[in-house]
């Protein structure tokens, strides 16, 4: 509940600096808060603690090696940033992908979405003080990470998408295990709902807290679940489908209240949606090849590809001058807009709401700083 004017004490403001590392912060960042009593009246965020010069490094690496770097834009949702880069280059080099490649790519993207959202639930639960729920979710995510290791060789940074194909074949055994996992996770989600999602204490901490207006959200350029939880139903998979999303009968999920609970529920429903999609995909994956050719040179030009990642829209702008390395690779990520919206959202709430609000926006500083 945003404080109305009678609750402000109008005292001297206290300055309080938190960060860059703290248990209540979702990622390394520095927050400078101005507090009036216990209400936050101003906030400045300092970023840059996770800057790793990814975009610059990609300029000196070959195209193939660039995929390994593109992974690392956001390690938790690496499939999306990988795909953004790969799709942009494929567009530039006019490479076609086989049907099976497209289906498997969709599968990996949706599995990645589930993995990232499970991490979100864990952080959200922890920020509200429910350690038990946090541990349950992490336990389930471990099984998903094991599946990724089986499929791609690595738990987080897959380097699985290649120009024109995939890094390796995916066997039927793996697909079956994916299906089993989906079935079990659906049961677990029931358990989470019983325990946490509609828990009265959690509702009191998140309903009405961190309100974001739809217009404000669009003005800040928010995308992804953060935007859809305020009522604006823009989902790239539905509005401008890529890969095989048009075959999957998708609808945009939208919450209208725009508070922290809406953001939580939005991602909960999206996990459910992704699990349904994974089942459909595994049923429809055609047999075939998914091989790729190593790409030495990419024709001159530039291209931009957008992907709906778990945190928003990820876009990759690729500029090539016909050589063996890119001239420029620039990423546009979803968390950056969320970070810029946060100071406005925080005003009027109490200090104790800080960790809940920050966790609910699902910000990855790795994405913001690159």
Please give the residue ranges that form the binding site for other proteins (CB under 8 A). 4, 14, 16, 18, 22-24, 35, 38, 57, 61-62, 64-65, 68-69, 71-72, 125-132, 135-136, 139, 142, 146, 149-154, 157, 159, 168, 187-188, 191, 194-196, 198-202, 204-205, 350-353, 355
Q: Quote the least distance from Cβ 94 to other proteins, whole Å.
A: 23
Q: Quote the least distance from Cβ 311 to other proteins, whole Å.
A: 22
Comparing CB distances to other proteins, the nearer of 157 and 329 is 157
Alpha helices in 225-352 (DSSP H): 225-228, 236-239, 260-284, 334-346
φ/ψ of 258, rounded to 5, equals 70, 15
Comparing CB distances to other proteins, the nearer of 39 and 227 is 39
Comparing CB distances to other proteins, the nearer of 122 and 273 is 122
Residue 349 contacts residue 370 (beta carbons within 8 Å): no
Comparing CB distances to other proteins, the nearer of 55 and 308 is 55
Distance between CA 89 and CA 235 in Å, rounded?
23
Residue 78 contacts residue 157 (beta carbons within 8 Å): yes
First-to-last C-alpha distance (Å) of the chain: 34
Residue 180: partners with Cβ closer than 8 Å, 6 or more residues away: none
Distance between CA 210 and CA 166 in Å, rounded?
41
* 297, two tokens: 């040179």
Within 13 A of 204's CA, how many CA atoms are on the CB side? 4
Comparing CB distances to other proteins, the nearer of 57 and 340 is 57
Q: 38: which DSSP letter?
A: T
Q: Quote the least distance from Cβ 85 to other proteins, whole Å.
A: 14
Comparing CB distances to other proteins, the nearer of 125 and 345 is 125
Show the CA angle centred on residue 245, arms to residues 72 and 282, nearest 5°. 85
Q: Quote the least distance from Cβ 295 to other proteins, whole Å.
A: 13
Comparing CB distances to other proteins, the nearer of 206 and 229 is 206
Q: Quote the least distance from Cβ 146 to other proteins, whole Å.
A: 8
Residue 48 contacts residue 363 (beta carbons within 8 Å): no
Q: Quote the least distance from Cβ 154 to other proteins, whole Å.
A: 5
Residue 312 contacts residue 226 (beta carbons within 8 Å): yes
């Amino acid at each position: 509940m945003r404080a109305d004017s009678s609750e402000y004490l109008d005292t001297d403001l206290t300055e309080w600096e938190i960060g860059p590392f703290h248990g209540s912060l979702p990622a390394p960042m520095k927050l400078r808060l101005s507090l009036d009593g216990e209400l936050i009246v101003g906030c400045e965020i300092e970023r840059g603690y996770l800057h790793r010069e990814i975009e610059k490094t990609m300029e000196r690496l070959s195209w193939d090696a660039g995929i390994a770097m593109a992974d690392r834009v956001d390690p938790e949702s690496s499939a999306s940033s990988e795909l953004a880069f790969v799709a942009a280059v494929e567009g530039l080099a006019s490479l076609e992908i086989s049907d099976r490649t497209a289906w498997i790519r969709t599968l990996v993207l949706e599995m990645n979405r589930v993995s990232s959202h499970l991490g979100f639930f864990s952080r959200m639960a922890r920020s509200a003080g429910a350690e038990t729920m946090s541990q349950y979710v992490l336990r389930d995510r471990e099984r998903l990470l094991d599946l990724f290791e089986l499929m791609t060789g690595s738990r987080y940074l897959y380097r699985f998408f290649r120009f024109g194909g995939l890094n390796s074949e995916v066997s039927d055994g793996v697909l079956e295990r994916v299906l089993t996992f989906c079935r079990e996770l659906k049961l677990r989600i029931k358990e989470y709902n019983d325990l946490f999602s509609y828990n009265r204490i959690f509702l009191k901490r998140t309903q009405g807290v961190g309100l974001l207006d739809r217009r404000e959200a669009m003005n800040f350029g928010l995308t992804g679940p953060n935007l859809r939880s305020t009522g604006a139903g823009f989902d790239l998979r539905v509005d401008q489908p890529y890969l095989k999303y048009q075959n999957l009968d998708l609808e945009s999920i939208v919450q209208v209240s725009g508070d922290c609970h809406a953001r939580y529920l939005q991602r909960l429903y999206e996990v459910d949606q992704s699990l349904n999609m994974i089942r459909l995909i595994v049923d429809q994956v055609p047999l075939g090849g998914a091989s790729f050719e190593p790409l030495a040179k990419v024709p001159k030009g530039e291209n931009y590809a957008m992907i709906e990642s778990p945190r928003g829209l990820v876009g990759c702008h690729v500029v090539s001058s016909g050589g063996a390395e890119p001239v420029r690779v620039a990423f546009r990520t979803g968390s950056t807009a969320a970070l810029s919206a946060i100071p406005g959202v925080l005003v009027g709430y109490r200090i104790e709401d800080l960790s809940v609000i920050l966790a609910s926006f699902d910000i990855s500083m790795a994405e913001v700083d690159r």
